[in-house]
Each structure stands twice: as C-alpha cells, then as structure tokens.
Amino acid sequence: MTETRTLSLAEIEDLSFRALVAAGTSEENARPLAVATAATEADGVASHGLAYIPIYCEHVQCGKVDGQAKPALETPRPGVVRVDAATGFAHSAIDLGFDTLIPAAREQGIAALAITNSYNCGVLGYHTYRLAQAGLVGLGFTNAPASIAPSGGSKPVIGTNPFSIAAPGADGQPALLIDQSASTIAKSEVMKHAREGKAIPVGWALDSDGNPTTDPNVGLKGSMAPSGGYKGVGVALLTEIMAAALTGATLGLHASPFSGTVGGPPKTGQFFIAIDPASTSNGLFSTGMADLVEAIRVQEGAHLPGDGRLSKRLKAHQEGVAVNSATLAKIEGILANANQA
C-alpha cells in the first residue's frame, strides 16, 4: 500500500514554491507554477501535481527550461495577443497573456492568445477554468513531444495534445469543463505507472510494432494509443495546428521530451481563445447552458465532464490532499541539498 501524508493546499503551494526557487527558478516564475500545482492536487490529478516538481527542478538545473526567463508580450493585431515564453515555464507566459487576453475578449467579444517557445503547461483545464471564472468561454490547446503514431503507422509524429473548453456558470464555477488528451490516457499517467512499477491497462499504449502492451516502459518506447482510433489522431492533428503551427512553436515531431534531461528546451506552444458569450448569444447563453446541463443531470448515473474534479476540489479545500510520501521525500531532498550548498 502506498504511504501518504495529508497536506493542506497552502502547504502544497509553499513546498512547490520553495523547491522551485531552490532549484534556480525566479520567484516570479515559481509562484504561478506553485499555485497551479496546488490546484492540480486539489482536483485529484496527482500525475500533474507534486509528482512533477522534482522533474521541473531537474529541468531547470539541466537547462531544459529557463527558470529565470522573462516572457515577452506583444499585440500584433486587435484581438490577438502573442507571448514568447523564452524557453521558460508556460505558467508565467500564460499569466502574462491572460492579463491582456481577458480584457480584450470582454471589449471585442473574442480574442486569441498564442504562446511560443514554451514548456509543459500542466493541466490545460486549469487555465481554461480561469477563463470561465472571468465569465468567458475558454478554449485551450497545447502540443507535446511526439508520442502518437498516425493511423496505419508505427512512428510517433504528434503528441498526446490535449484540448480543453470551459463554459462559465452562475456560481463562479464552470458550468461545464472538458479537458482531454488525444490519447486514451495522458502520457504522464503511463510515466507515473512506470515510476511506481505498476502495469498499465490494455488500451493505454502500444509497443514499437503497434501492438497493445501492459508494460509502461515498453509503451513509453512505443506510442500512446489514440482515443477512438483515427478520430483521436484527428484531434491530435487539430491541436498541433492550433498550438504549434499557429503559434510558430516547435512541432511535437521535433520537440525534445518533457521527461529526462536530453534535448534542450522543447519550445512547444499553447493557444487560447476567449469568447464573451454576451456578444454572441443575444443573451441566451446562460439559458442554453442550463438546459444542456440539466438534460444530463436528470439522468440517473450520468455526470458532466469536470464534475469529478469539482467534487475533489471542494473536499480538498476542507480536508487537504493525501500526497505520496515518496514524492514528498524527493522534494524535501531537493530543499535539503539546496540548504547544504
């Protein structure tokens, strides 16, 4: 049985922040990533939470990500915001971009944010969630290093490439939040199983010959299984266009891995579209969303995308989060080494 310790969200944020700074990240870059890490743990997405902090620290120290980067913003056209992440953390670049994107969308009805030369943005739905909290419909796309082979092929050319959409609700929480990768499961989940020495279910990954495997290490050397077969490949290609081609970022085909220390900065991208529903729906957006949500909620056993994360989030704010003790030991080791240096 895996040993755990219960931490409050404030403790998770503080631990993440201190570890990132100890590894050489500026406080300005560490804070938004630490806040996102706590929110991710609250949502129950442990594979993208504290488990990633040792990886982030390692990547700062080896130069895969520039912990001291200063993202640069420009507005080349009305309604278009562009941020060069300068090979730094995506979270700082996204924060900078949202500061301009949100008011632009409110003023014009719609606006887009393109981020280039970036890095792993963690849970994409965390970012679209924030757009929904601002009263906007938020769409997000992020590409990743190649791990999915095309239909009929065996060599990965596109990443797991998540997309997300969040629609605002009346209570400050999204009425609906979809956050899904183009693969059957996020690659980070396979990596987590590999670290823990656990087999993966059939259907998560394929070996180098395109055959199903339950060995996470074999799957990581092969390819991730696309969700829905060729339709999942189509979603991955859509995201690649939005997050890489449209932003001028590195294609997943050429990006260095988000794991390990080889290859330098991945320089991947993110793309967000923010829409003010008041400008497009003639005042009927809330009614339409309420009808749609109700049609699902009245069905016994049915649930909306995002419901699971919401219930865990509310519980976490009251009770804290059970965190893997081995993960905490790694992070505490980073802090101890920094204090001895």
Could you give the residue numbers annotated as active site? 47-48, 189
- HSE of 25 in the Cβ direction (CA atoms, 13 Å)? 31
Nearest to 155 by CA among 244, 224, 218: 224
User: Tokens 């993208």 appear where?
Assistant: 48
- Decide: residue 286, CB within 10 A, 0-12 exposed, 13-18 middle, 19+ buried: middle
Contact between 299 and 95 under an 8 Å Cβ cutoff? The reply is no
Q: Which residues pair with 323 in a beta bridge?
A: 5
What's the sign of the alpha-carbon dihedral 181, 183, 185, 190?
negative
